[in-house]
Amino acid sequence: MIDGTQTLAIGFPSEEIVRQHNAMINSPFNLASTEWRLFTCILARIRPTDTEFAVHVIPVSEFMDLSSSNWAYEYVRDMKSSLAGRTLQLEIIPETGKRSKSGRTHRDIPLFSLLDYVEGKGCIEAQLNHQVMPYLLELTRGGQFTRSVVQELKSLKSSYAHKLYWLLSEYRFRGERTFTYSDLRYRLGMSENEYADRFNNFKARIIDKVQLELARTDLAFTYQVLRTGKKATGVVFRYSARPLPLDPAPSATKTVLEADILPTELVEQLRAIGVSQDSIAELTRDACQTKRYPVDYIWYVLNKSKQNVKTKIKSVGGWVFKLVRNRSLFDEYERSLTAPAAAATSRPTAAGAPAGKKKLPRPR
């Protein structure tokens, strides 16, 4: 039960979007389906501006089907007992907040500091462990996080469907994610030997069943089995997911103004060439918060990429992102401001209103 020193959050309206650090998503753990739904209810109560974990009061009816209420409440009591002491093997996040590309290490971290079933009230009181804070709080400042849709997650029935939904959602804007067979089993929380030599069983019992569940969500997928000879060595998941609304860039006053976000058309064009949600958030911070470069510089680089259609570039989105963030063309951009404008185009102003035709500098 709670004491007088803890922040209590009762009935806080759930958000449509929930967030996790990519290090948590890719860590080798899984939860039972009801545990996932409870965890989703907690995530939905975390605001992007929160700096500490509150105690949340969650009605059992929010994450359980109460058509057989006696059984449901008994199940929740048993689940609470097992989940209260659960530790998750999580990838350690460096102080920079950025995941290291090599030599990643993991440690076991308790998920909850408080988890109680309140007899007679039909609700759970829950507070996440403070050691989990880097994985769930103030993620818009670090950049390496993934967002998912609450209602989609609540519709899922199996634990593997929950886990794979998050893994695919990380690559939402690419529309494709490839795993080696061993890596996929690892990220789904399976032991080293589980299904190791039984891909056909894995395909039928895991992938095919998850595919049926996710077919009713915004991450419906097809997949291709990769083989070396006759041996299955990997899986490619392909999907066409709807884009999620962009998180507002954080500001010192925690308020969002029109000047704090990139123009809608610019965001849509960046998405169209493959710039990820995380990268767009970084560009938003640079242009709208820290003022490392103006928004027009992003437009300039974007126009430059369209004029280099003959250049062989593996990832146009990644190329544009690096050119902007590294200010690689900034001197050229500034020189172009004093050069005669040779090309005219139209686009909305930062506030989204039509600005008519505006002459943009032609890259030299």
CATH (domain of 126): 1.10.10.10
Cα–Cα dist 352/347, whole Å: 9
- My answer on whether 187 and 236 are in the same domain is yes
**Domain end among 245, 273, 307:** 245
Render pLDDT for 247-283 as a digit per residue (tens, 0 to 9). 654 444 334 344 567 887 788 788 888 887 778 888 8
Indicate if 16 and 135 belong to the same structural domain: yes
Domain count, the chain: 3
Q: Confirm whether 251 is domain-assigned.
A: no
Half-sphere exposure for 37 (CA within 13 Å, toward CB): 20
Under the banding of pLDDT at 50, 70 and 90, the label for residue 358 is: very low
Same domain, 144 and 167: no
More confident residue, 52 or 7: 52
* Domain of 356, in residue numbers: 258-360
Q: Tell me: do 145 and 161 sit in the same domain.
A: no
- Whether residues 186 and 61 fall in one domain: no
Q: Strand pairing of 8-10 and 55-59?
A: parallel
Residues 125 and 10 in one domain: yes
Report which DSSP code applies to 203. I
Residue linked to tokens 């049926």:
212
261-278 per-residue burial string, b: 16 or more CB within 10 A, e: under 16: bbbeebbebbbebbbbbb
Count of CB atoms situated within 10 Å of the CB of 9: 18
Mean pLDDT of the chain: 81
State how far the Cα of 320 lies from the Cα of 274, in Å rounded to an integer. 10
d(CA 113, CA 186): 26
Single residue among 152, 179, 202 that ends a domain in this structure: 152
Q: Is residue 47 part of a domain?
A: yes
Same domain, 120 and 185: no
% of the chain beyond a pLDDT of 70: 79
Residue 294 lies in a domain: yes
Which of the residue ranges 71-85, 204-218, 236-250, 294-308 would you say has the lowest mean pLDDT? 236-250
Residues in the chain: 364
> Within this chain, do residues 10 and 142 fall inside the same structural domain, yes or no?
yes
Residue 50 shares a structural domain with residue 125: yes
The pLDDT of residue 349: 45
Task: Indicate whether 314 belongs to any domain.
Answer: yes
Distance of CA 212 to CAs 152, 167, 346, Å?
A: 14, 17, 44
Q: State the pLDDT at residue 109.
A: 95
Task: Return all residues near 176 (Cβ < 8 A) that are at least 6 apart.
Answer: 236, 237, 238, 239
User: Are 1 and 122 members of one domain?
Assistant: yes
